Amino acid sequence: MEPRGEEADVDRHDIIMRPLLTEKSTLLREKRNQVCFEVRSDANRSEVKRAIEETLKVKVDRVNLMNMEGKVKRLNRFVGKRSNWKKAIVFLKEGEKLKIFES
């Protein structure tokens, strides 16, 4: 594993994989001003916070990270497993909104 810190800079665009657009994430965004993203599995809270602030130009209060277990899927007699992934719930500061979700 590569060393993390100042000597091993990860590009901020590589940390955020995609936004999660589900019913639950929509409720979190509307009621609590929280936004959900899929992030790299080796990213930490400070990297996610910095990437969100620099990329999307919003102020982040805090970040919660969750490791999501991949689902087991089967097709007839063949069984497979989807990849594990990491979810970030980003708490935006009071008054901050993301324009990409508002349209």
Q: Which CATH superfamily is domain 12-102 in?
A: RRM (RNA recognition motif) domain (3.30.70.330)
pLDDT at 74: 96
DSSP state of 65: E
**Dist. CA 101–CA 12, nearest whole Å:** 20
pTM for this structure? 0.83
Tens-digit pLDDT profile for residues 1-12: 555 655 456 788
34-39 and 60-68 as β-strands: parallel, antiparallel, unpaired? unpaired
pLDDT at 4: 60
86 burial type by CB count under 10 A (0-12 exposed, 13-18 middle, 19+ buried): middle
* Type and span of the H or E element at 52: helix 45-56
Tens-digit pLDDT profile for residues 22-68: 999 999 999 999 999 999 999 999 999 999 999 999 999 999 999 99
* Of 24, 11, 37, the residue nearest 98 (C-alpha): 37
* Of 58, 20, 62, the residue nearest 44 (C-alpha): 62
Domain ranges, ordered by start, for the chain:
12-102
| DSSP codes of every residue in 13-42 | HHHEEEE---HHHHHHHHHH-EEEEEE-TT
